[in-house]
């Protein structure tokens, strides 16, 4: 698993553990042990990603994958209303502008490749 997983005791003090994936807002799972919580978060992660793709939502890349690739800066000009929509959406999903735009471009390119290949 390339995503950042945090496992911690459930604050409800019932002895369970909670696992969360930092990059996937709202993706969490529970287990009676840290190992069980880790197994459950792997399932939750797959379901989260499938649902995001199904509904056209961006799937943030793992932090460690983001850091391993060279970055290049460029300027983008958006109409003010579109930039406002970008900021509202990225805030809702806990993403930076650049993360959202990169995810949207990746999804757009992948979609066009599937259309051209007939899949």
Task: Tell me how many domains the chain contains.
Answer: 1
Structure confidence at residue 67 (pLDDT): 53
Residue from 110, 107, 102, 20 nearest 69 by CA: 102
Output the CA torsion 65→5→25→119 (10° steps). Answer: 50
Domain that holds residue 15: 5-117
Q: How many residues are present in the chain?
A: 119
Q: Which residues contact 111 (CB under 8 A, 6 or more apart)?
A: none
Residue 12 scores a pLDDT above 60: yes
Distance in angstroms (rounded) separating the CA atoms of residues 113 and 119: 9
Do residues 31 and 39 touch, judged by C-beta distance below 8 A? yes
- The mean pLDDT value of the chain amounts to 86
At residue 69, does pLDDT exceed 80? no
Q: Which tops the pLDDT comparison, 42 or 112?
A: 42
What predicted TM-score, i.e. pTM, was given to this entire model? 0.57
């Amino acid at each position: 698993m390339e995503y950042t997983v945090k496992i911690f005791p459930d604050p409800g003090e019932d002895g369970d553990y909670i696992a969360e994936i930092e990059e996937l807002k709202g993706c969490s799972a529970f287990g009676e042990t840290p190992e069980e919580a880790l197994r459950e978060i792997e399932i939750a992660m797959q379901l989260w990603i499938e649902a995001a793709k199904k509904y056209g939502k961006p799937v943030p890349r793992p932090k460690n994958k983001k850091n391993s690739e060279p970055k290049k800066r460029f300027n983008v000009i958006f109409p003010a209303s579109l930039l406002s929509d970008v900021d509202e959406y990225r805030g809702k999903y806990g993403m930076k502008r650049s993360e959202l735009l990169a995810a949207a471009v990746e999804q757009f390119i992948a979609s066009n490749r599937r259309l051209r290949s007939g899949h």
